[in-house]
Chain A
Amino acid sequence: NAGVTQTPKFQVLKTGQSMTLQCAQDMNHNSMYWYRQDPGMGLRLIYYSASEGTTDKGEVPNGYNVSRLNKREFSLRLESAAPSQTSVYFCASIVGRWNTEAFFGQGTRLTVV
């Protein structure tokens, strides 16, 4: 049972390069989220997808795009990477209307130079 799988685990980009972070979950959850984690800033929501076919902006969406490819997969794209996007990115799959639980992937450590 893999849970939430993120790829890649590490990435170094040059300023202006583009890349896509992949996330897949095998728990049949409707909701998937992308967070970034920076020292002293906690987990900040970038985008979320409450169900297949829908996406919404979170707290810090600028510079990112997302695609909910199907129920399992939710990707995050950086079109033109900037040093300010250096961060650890977490994908989460969330379930439960009342006792809500988020299942996180292992994270992608991205460095933009």
Chain B
Amino acid sequence: QQQVKQSPQSLIVQKGGISIINCAYENTAFDYFPWYQQFPGKGPALLIAIRPDVSEKKEGRFTISFNKSAKQFSLHIMDSQPGDSATYFCAAKEGLRGSNYKLTFGKGTLLTVNP
């Protein structure tokens, strides 16, 4: 079953607008929630992340909102720019036995910011 559900699959926003991408999870063992950004032809790269004891984290124009009771988190991109056009993945981390861990990714959102 899909452990991390991401929506929408694609998103078109005008320059200067707000982009919002949502994710939901079921596994309460998840204890860390990063977002990755991927440009065409490249591997994903960490954008911003949040721990479940925090409800919001902001880095520049990027903000994660986290709702632990609803098991949902979202990425907000303020003042969206054409250079933000990329695929965005939410992810969730769970610890395994010992000091090991596993990252599970959502299906991704293709964001297009029109000039």
Contact = CB atoms under 8 A, between A and B. Distances in A.
Contact of A102 (B6, B36, B41): B36
Nearest to A95: B101
Contacts of A48: 102
A76 B6 CA distance: 28
Given A43-B89, A104-B45, A31 B36 contact: no
A99 B104 CA distance: 15
Interface in A34-76: 35, 40-45, 48, 50-51
Q: What band does the interface of chain B fall in when counting residues whose beta carbon is under 8 Å from A?
A: 20 to 34
The main secondary structure of chain A at its interface with chain B is strand
A21 interface: no
B108 A42 contact: yes
A31 B100 CA distance: 8
Contacts of A45: 102-104
Interface in B80-115: 89, 91, 93, 95-96, 98-108
B16 to A, nearest CB: 28
A104 B43 contact: yes
B98 A50 contact: yes
B105 A43 contact: yes
B107 A100 contact: no
27 contacts: A4-B43, A30-B100, A31-B100, A31-B101, A40-B9, A41-B107, A42-B106, A43-B44, A44-B105, A45-B102, A51-B100, A92-B43, A94-B101, A94-B103, A97-B95, A98-B32, A100-B32, A100-B101, A100-B103, A101-B34, A102-B34, A102-B44, A102-B91, A104-B43, A104-B44, A106-B42, A107-B42
Given A97-B101, A102-B44, A106-B41, 18 more contacts: A30-B100, A31-B100, A33-B103, A40-B107, A41-B107, A42-B106, A43-B108, A45-B103, A50-B96, A94-B103, A97-B95, A100-B32, A100-B34, A100-B93, A102-B34, A102-B36, A104-B44, A104-B45
Interface of A: 4, 30-31, 33, 35, 40-45, 48, 50-51, 90, 92, 94, 97-102, 104-107
